[in-house]
Amino acid sequence: MTTISPSKVKEFDSSSLEKIAYNSVKTIPTREPNDQYRLGYSIWLWLTERKGTLEQAVKTAGARMLIAEHDAVKIIKDELAKAGISS
């Protein structure tokens, strides 16, 4: 039996909504990495559909953050503004 190297991962372009969404939450401390991924996915979903508010997207993500929700929303809004997206 032989071991093959894993497939290469193709990164999203830095201007794609996926990358912007996940970068907007990368500085938010969470209990586990999966909580941060869940939060990033929720932000991406909000950016693509624009249903509800950003605050609702953060709340419905169910991520176990180590900071208050309103602080996380502020961080995300700041990061989205840096990327040229208004909330």
**Model pLDDT for residues 68-78, shown as the tens digit of each residue:** 999 999 999 99
The mean pLDDT value for 35-63 works out to 95
Using the 8-state DSSP alphabet, how is residue 1 labeled? -
Q: What is the DSSP letter of 26?
A: T
Q: Does residue 56 have a pLDDT over 80?
A: yes
DSSP assigned state of 9: P
Task: Summarize the chain as % helix, strand, coil (round to 5).
Answer: 55, 0, 45
What's the confidence (pLDDT) of residue 21? 94
Residue 5 Cα distances to 1, 10, 11, 12, angstroms? 13, 15, 18, 21
Q: Could you give the percent of the chain with pLDDT greater than 70?
A: 97
Residue 34, classed as helix, strand or coil, is: helix
Q: Stretch 53-57: mean pLDDT, rounded?
A: 95
The rounded distance, in Å, linking the Cα atoms of 41 and 44 is 5
Query: Is 90 exceeded by the pLDDT of residue 15?
Result: no
pLDDT at residue 38 tops 70: yes
- Per-residue pLDDT band at 1 (split at 50, 70, 90): low
Rounded to 5°, the CA angle 36-43-18 comes to 90
